[in-house]
Amino acid sequence: MSETPSAPNELEHERQYVAGLYHRLDELRAEKMEQLAAIRRSHSAGSHQNRSERDAFATMYEDRLAQLNAVDERLVFGRLDLDDGEKRYIGRIGLSTEDLQRLMVDWRAPEAGTFYQATAFERQGVRRRRHLILKGRNVQAIEDDVLDYTMLEDEPELQGEGALLAALNSKRTGQMSDIVGTIQAEQDRIIRAPLSGTLVVQGGPGTGKTAVALHRAAYLLYTHRERLKSAGVLLVGPSNAFIRYIERVLPSLGETGVVMSSLGQLMPGITATHEEDPATAEVKGRLSMAKVVARAVANRQRLPIGPRKLNVEGTILTLTPRQVQRARDKARATGKPHNEARVTFVKILLRELTEQMTEQLEESAGAGNSTDRAYLAEDVRSARDVRVALNLCWMPMTPEKLISDLFSKPGQLEAAAPELTDRELGLLRRSADAPWTEADVPLLDEAAELLGELDASAGRENALREEQRKRDLANAESAIANTEGFLEDSGAHGILSAEDLADHNAVGEARLTAADRAAVDRTWAFGHIVVDEAQELSAMQWRLLMRRCPLKSFTVVGDIAQTSSAAGASSWQAALDPFVGERWTLEELTVNYRTPAQIAEAAVRMANAAGLVVSAPKAVREGRWAPFIDEVPDGGLVPRLLQTLPEDLDALDGGLLAVIAEDHRLPEVRRALTEVYGQRVGSGAGGLEQDIVVTSPREAKGLEFDGVVILEPSELLTAAAGKVGDLYVAMTRPTQRLRLIAAEGIPAGIPEEES
């Protein structure tokens, strides 16, 4: 090994190398921009196949440009010095020179795994792990983890604040940052776990569950590209605010094809609101509601009370209950969904009614009359009485119509749900124009599954599209084989797949990515699903998600102790066993990276005092402040908030502060703060110009803030059907500072007992 330069020279060396990486990144951007411009300049003449191929290349270059643009921030973050003398740089994507000399390794590649896994006890061939701390494109500092102690004799002066602690102490911005440069060993093991099966990641507040889930999604897409690119990955979060909070993380990791959805958006075309009544959410979330919906569908396949007279062009026909029952039994025997089976039901009865009309006309005209009766079938089909009668017996339905009628018409609900009590039936009743809620979404999905397509021809069209898709793939494979030279010259060799080309050759359809198509297709089967804050899901929500991934390939992330939904899980076994049996594995995160020790310990004491047994992950740092506790008289919550907020904002020095309270208090709090702080007051996760957030415990779930003020903590403790989760969640959101303001007393356990 050559003589090691001093620390200042090391810093300068890294700055020069990183500048070279950015230079190469800019070259690739310019190259793809030129290739894209050339494609766009090319004439659109020629065959449809030629035009589609050009469109495919254009989209490929656009996607590559989007990836190259998304990784500019902290492009490189680490370096490994290996026993054989190699220096291996680790970054967001892989980079090579024009002659394929490797400059940087993608963090997801197997060769990068040792950056996260190597320790002084198991070096795995690593002498030193170097963290590069960047601001913009400039290396601000370096920090070395020396794993081979003999290196300390050469470089005793190299040190640093620590990349992890630097990241933890940085101010929140309202957008989640990735942790790709600071992934710890236990997190990395989970991120790189096998794809198949259901992996549950249990972790207390601040353990990095969400970050692990997002990085795992990026890792799986990189490692299992062929399988997941076409099937896609779905990431489900607890709220729209949470989705906005995390939306930039995956693009920064080099992935742009993941479908992200809150629980209220899982039914295409429906954007649902929060279910305000916990008791109603609990009833709707029961697995037995699947049987209620099934009965509601079956009850729409009715038998008439007695024979019904039908007027067809002056001829009176009779539709009997026996005829209807026979047609219904045959239609049900097809096993098709309601709307599709209706085709069989209608066809049988139209044939019988036409035969009945033919017989009557022949009898009245005499046996010798052989007039053509071909028009009779159309007369029967179009007759108003016939159409009304058949619809009354078997009405085509949309999911929205079925569930709306079920909850707004007491007779239908009682008939479909005989097992529910009068109180439970009352919880479900509502007006026909009531907005859809998150708890309704699984019921709508269940109805859609049982009803099928409203247009009976849609099923045949889907089958035809599948056949066309097979032909498109075969044509695309042939086209790529015939254009190898062009692909090589354009730098696209090995990048453009037959599937990419087939997508762009689809005649008459928008040229969409798999993620685009999956987001609007309720029946889409994803290759993998990541569920964050999974402890909040009801049994019916799990049933919906299991339908979305028939292979049962899941990453389930959450903390049972933080459950606040009345329909949520009491254990992972109770949540998952009905769907995957014992075919799931549990991993646990044990280190709290977010919450200072004083605040984390107060939250655990509160939970324990309230009877909740919680895991207590070890906090990696002490904070500057213990929780502040302000007890005020009735009516004093908002005045004390206005009094103390300047002190909290000053202490956070530009950080993000959240005021968390129950929903009914939020309007008053928001008005009072807006009068003083104007546009600085926001909601959700905040932003660069909104450093004060007013939110509920539910909306705060999964988010983090530099400081948190909780109003009336005892209210949070009791509001969610007696569950501790809401207060526990709220207390563990801050990275620096926590204040509790109470007029009704401080819950037991929060103040530290004096010894």
Nearest to 735 by CA among 278, 294, 164: 164
CA geometry: angle 25, 30, 33, nearest 5 deg? 125
Q: Which of 414, 411, 412 is nearest to 403 (CA)?
A: 412
Binding residue numbers: 203-210
Q: What angle do CA 565, 569, 571 make, to 5 degrees?
A: 145
Q: Residue 28 to residues 24, 32, 64, 105, 256: CA-CA distances in angstroms?
A: 6, 6, 9, 16, 18
- Angle subtended by helix axes 441-451 and 338-365, to nearest 10: 40
Q: Which residues contact 719 (CB under 8 A, 6 or more apart)?
A: 662, 726
- Own/partner contacts of 366-370, CB < 8 Å, gap of 24 or more, are none
Helices (H), 491-538: 498-505, 514-519
530 burial type by CB count under 10 A (0-12 exposed, 13-18 middle, 19+ buried): buried
CA distance 629 to 616: 22
Return binding residues for ATP.
Answer: 203-210
Identify whether the C-beta of residue 673 lies closer than 8 Å to the C-beta of residue 684: no
Q: Distance of CA 342 to CAs 157, 210, 331, 455, Å?
A: 80, 45, 7, 11
Between CA 411 and CA 415, with CA 414 as vertex, the angle to 5 degrees is 85
| Interacting residues of 130 by C-beta distance below 8 A, sequence separation 6+ | 14, 78, 79, 80, 81, 142, 143, 144, 145
564 in Cβ contact with 729 (< 8 Å): yes
Cα(266)–Cα(263) distance, rounded to whole angstroms? 6
Closest by alpha carbon to 576, among 199, 194, 190, 196? 199
Please tell me the distance from the alpha carbon of residue 540 to that of residue 573, in angstroms, as a whole number.
15
Residue indicated by tokens 């007759």: 383
Helix (H) or strand (E) holding 81: strand 76-82
Contact 26, 71 (CB under 8 A): no
Distance CA(540)–CA(286), nearest Å, equals 6
Structural contact between residues 554 and 587, judged by C-beta atoms closer than 8 angstroms: no
Q: How far apart are CA 393 and CA 342, in angstroms?
A: 10
Q: Alpha-carbon distance 392 to 390, whole Å?
A: 5
For strand 126-135 and strand 138-146, is the pairing parallel, antiparallel, or unpaired?
A: antiparallel
Cβ atoms 393, 324 nearer than 8 A: yes
Could you tell me if 91 and 67 are in contact, meaning their C-beta atoms sit under 8 angstroms apart? Answer: no
